Copies of this chain bind each other. A is one copy, B any other.
Amino acid sequence: MRPEELPEIRRLHLFCDMTQASFETLLASSYAQNFPQGLEMIRQGDPADFLHIVLEGSVELFAQWSGRECTMAVLRPVSTFILAATIRDAPYLMSARTLERTRIILVPASDLRAMFRRDTEFAVSVINELAACYRSVVRGAKSLKLRNSRERVASYLLRQSILAGGAASYTLPVEKRLLASYLGMTPENLSRTLRMLEDHGIKVDGARVIITDREKLTALAQPDRLIDGPD
């Protein structure tokens, strides 16, 4: 692990409140690994032996069943993933693959579990992190059950604009086929929906999104703090 990486990790909510000693102990038993693009680094069902931290690149979390597959999340630096599985010492519920060349820190699950028994502040951080993750998945489930695909796309586009500082124009952070799977629809349907949304204040050209009429888009998306955040 490179020394300049430690402060970046330390800044994560999960690690910023623990003692320096605890942090150093935990990271001492961890190690970095570089993965090429498209590598399936975690397979659902495998035992969860490590907490993962993305330092560079990006990772797709996805799920499989009966020959089908869907994207559950896309993670970018700096963030952790599959915390819950490591804590319960249970099999991963999701698979993970790299979307590009990606650098990951692997923190042994057993050290993690030992650490939050010794460092109360760390335990509190884990609690907060898990609660946030839980709420995030609940939001996703609400969006899936309460909105149709057009509304989900509209909400997503509006939300991305807000994350880009309210910009009227921005670039999609992920490929469209991935986005479609994430939103629970087929690529074809996403393509058609984006076209339809031209009547609702959105223009999409390649990965470029332009909001032509924010009011109209908002009327369709009906953004809701309890689904779209912020927390």
Instruction: Pick from B85, B88, B135, B227: contact of A128, CB below 8 A.
Output: B88
A131 contacts partner chain B, Cβ-Cβ < 8 Å: yes
Closest 10 CB pairs of A and B: A130-B130, A84-B131, A65-B146, A123-B123, A70-B145, A87-B131, A137-B137, A134-B134, A84-B134, A63-B142
Residues A224 and B65 in contact, CB atoms below 8 Å apart: yes
Residues B45 and A131 in contact, CB atoms below 8 Å apart: no
Asked whether A117 and B116 contact (CB < 8 A) given A141-B141, A226-B44, the answer is no
Q: Which residues of B contact A45 (CB under 8 A)?
A: 225-226
> Chain copies in the assembly?
2
0/1 interface trace, chain A 42-77, chain B, CB 8 Å (1 if under): 001100000000000000000111101110100000
Asked whether A222 and B65 contact (CB < 8 A) given A70-B146, A145-B70, the answer is yes
A90 contacts partner chain B, Cβ-Cβ < 8 Å: yes
Residues A66 and B141 in contact, CB atoms below 8 Å apart: no
Q: A65-B226, A72-B141, A88-B135 are in contact. List 16 more A-B contacts (CB 8 A).
A: A44-B226, A72-B142, A84-B131, A84-B138, A85-B135, A93-B135, A93-B226, A117-B120, A120-B123, A123-B123, A123-B127, A126-B127, A130-B131, A137-B141, A141-B144, A144-B184
A211 contacts partner chain B, Cβ-Cβ < 8 Å: no
Residues B134 and A226 in contact, CB atoms below 8 Å apart: no
Asked whether A222 and B66 contact (CB < 8 A) given A135-B85, A141-B141, the answer is yes
